[in-house]
Structure 1
Amino acid sequence: MARITVEDCQKQVDNRFLLVQMGIKRVQQYREGYEALVSSKNKEVVNALREIADGKVLVVEPEAPEEATA
């Protein structure tokens, strides 16, 4: 397999801070028992970056709170 780079991942997620947070969250999910979405024999963090670069892990935007009506 070819090397994975941050630039590959930034095609999907343009914010480096968010990219790091997504990678951390995905590694935590692996350790909780979640299955990998991309098969590889690499370490968890590399596998997480591969999933992000392939578009298999997406950002979920939080919903805006509804405005209270008086």
Structure 2
Amino acid sequence: MTRIKTTAPPPAACLTRIAQVHMGIETLEERRSDSLDFHEVSVWSVKDALQAAFEAGQAAAREA
């Protein structure tokens, strides 16, 4: 049986997607504006984002 290796998205893209989905943050790029670079987020959003990042890391390790 041949195993087809799928490639995970680059870490930056993965982190950006997690920030968008779980924290409502559009981009992780610095935009040099306080209103764009600082965000007020709930603790449950941070928890969800950290859980998603942990799971993405586990998935990447399994693929390696």
Give the TM interval when normalised to the shorter protein: 0.3 to 0.5
> Under a length normalisation based on structure 2, what TM-score does the superposition of the two structures give?
0.35
TM-score norm. by structure 1 comes to 0.33
Decide which structure has greater helix share: 2
